[in-house]
Amino acid sequence: MSLEKVKAVFFDLSGVLYIGTQAMDGAVKTIDRLRAEGYILRFVTNTSSHSYQMVKNQLNTLGFDFKTEELFTAPQAAKLYIQRRNLRPFCIIHDNLKPEFADIDQSNPNCVLLADAQNNLNYQNLNQAFIMIEQGFPLIGMGKNKYYKDAESFKLDVGSFIHALEWASGTQATIVGKPDAQFFQTVVDTTGLKNDECLMIGDDVLGDVQGAINAGLQGCLVKTGKFKADDLNRLPKQAYVIDIINQLPDLLAQFKATR
């Protein structure tokens, strides 16, 4: 695979375009330049501690040029997944997300839905989830990220709690969001392009880069956000690497020039 084919770029958000309330150096201009050069752009996040509207507000506040239909979130995908199957989830989700799931029937639950619920990831809720899984109800996770980095510190992400429940129960969760290939495919399908014409760029080796490559996309790791030197040892050999998002337009331009 080569970047010269790329006609669409999928951006992970936190740790890539911004961290906390601070845009990455040159990130806004990167979006503007790629858009001007004709790239199709998508914004693809597993963030489940913020609602769809909060993510949009964040991008707007920081001055990013994007359209609502270009933004894909794991909670949005999870909601669709649940609605299509008429599931009634026991929701362990962040208070920020509760309004977005308020119109989902959560009575007499028949599945467990786990998100980056932070303080709602308490022992009582996790134990209730475990008991339901032991009774045979499926576990659905919004992404499987191990951790992320916000303005304050590293933070445990939902993936670590999913992994604990999988290990305890000997079952496997259904992951909705990155790195689920179906989630990537949904985004690719909105572009009208082939999978390998789409490049996913993110700071998570497994969720963003390995996940995209497994789904037939191209992948690029950016060394900001949660990046740790050790990540390079786990990176698939087909992956590209840049130091910061503002290096992406030149990297793509180089490949086009050598075409």
Instruction: Provide the binding-site residues for its own copies, judged by CB under 8 A.
Output: 117-124, 126-127, 130-131, 134, 146-147, 153-157, 159-161, 163-165, 167-168, 170, 230
Q: Crossing angle for the helix pair 248-257 and 27-36, nearest 10 degrees?
A: 30
List all residues 6 or more positions away from 102 whose beta carbon is below 8 Å from its beta carbon: none
Residue closer to its own copies by CB (options 153, 258) is 153
Strand ranges for the chain from DSSP E:
8-11, 18-19, 22-23, 40-45, 71-73, 89-92, 111-114, 139-142, 147-149, 154-156, 174-176, 198-202, 218-222, 240-242
Closest contact distance (angstroms) between CB of 96 and its own copies is 14
Under DSSP, the state recorded for 151 is S
Residue closer to its own copies by CB (options 77, 206) is 206
Residue closer to its own copies by CB (options 51, 120) is 120
Closest contact distance (angstroms) between CB of 84 and its own copies is 30
CB 6 within 8 A of CB 218: yes
**C-alpha atoms less than 13 angstroms from C-alpha of 78 in its C-beta half-sphere:** 37
Closest contact distance (angstroms) between CB of 167 and its own copies is 5
Residue closer to its own copies by CB (options 101, 161) is 161
CB 71 within 8 A of CB 59: yes
Closest contact distance (angstroms) between CB of 164 and its own copies is 4
Residue closer to its own copies by CB (options 147, 255) is 147
Closest contact distance (angstroms) between CB of 152 and its own copies is 10
Closest contact distance (angstroms) between CB of 11 and its own copies is 24
Residue closer to its own copies by CB (options 141, 249) is 141
Q: Where are the alpha helices (DSSP H) in 3-107?
A: 27-36, 52-61, 74-84
